[in-house]
Amino acid sequence: MEIYIVRPGDTVDTIAEAYGVSPQSIIYNNQLPYPYPLAVGQALLLSDEPSPNTGKPLAFTGGYAYPFISRWVLEQTLPFLSGLYIFSYGFTPEGELIPPALDDTFMVTAAKSAGAAPILTLTPFGPTGQFSNYLITQVVNNETSKQNLIENLSAQITERGFEGVDIDFEYILPEDKIPFANFVRDVRTAVNALGYPVSVALAPKTSDAQAGLLYEGKDYGLLGEAADSVLLMTYEWGYT
């Protein structure tokens, strides 16, 4: 362990190579923010001891992305993601899957190449491109439609190479609270059988009895049991 004083032209990589330590240990031990700029005269702690996060991530990171995303933005972002949530796949009242208007094959391929899991994002988008609680009601309460949608999801995962499903349903009617949780559970059972996880996006409730169309149709306890993981959409607070 020693202290190194940064000189002109130094970078994390050149210092690491010169002193036989990993760039990750320099970044971690000195809490350097991305993109890891160094100032001449700056003191850095160098240690050959492995940083606590060696070999495993500190967090699971993901991001929603439409197929019209800039290829450059995607390329720059993927190395920092655990999962790429491809937005989005809709469905009909009969459970037929509706893919994005633009081809998303390049996103699946790019995610896999970068070591990020391509995640199929399922949304109840109606003909207007908006969330439709009518579609939710039709599918979660009709066993035939539900099973058809689950079979179509499974086929899409198998054929296209997706590595998970994220269920992003909003404006769920209060009377569909339990059927929706059962739907998430059934999707998870099928997708887990293929070897992949299922997550569910949750509106940011502050209490179980919170009023409002965003909140009344989601039971945190039931959905926490039904899915492999949950995403709290706290960004929704920012809209207001």
Model confidence pLDDT, tens digit, residues 90-129: 999 999 999 999 999 999 999 999 999 999 999 999 877 8
User: Please, what is the angle between helix 133-140 and helix 177-193, to 10°?
Assistant: 70
User: What is the spatial distance between Cα 149 and Cα 141, in angstroms, rounded to a whole number?
Assistant: 12
Tell me the percentage of the chain whose pLDDT exceeds 90. Answer: 79
**Residue 1 confidence (pLDDT):** 75
**Residue 240 confidence (pLDDT):** 55
Average pLDDT over residues 65-75: 95
Q: How many CA atoms lie within 13 A of 67 on its CB side?
A: 14
pTM score: 0.77
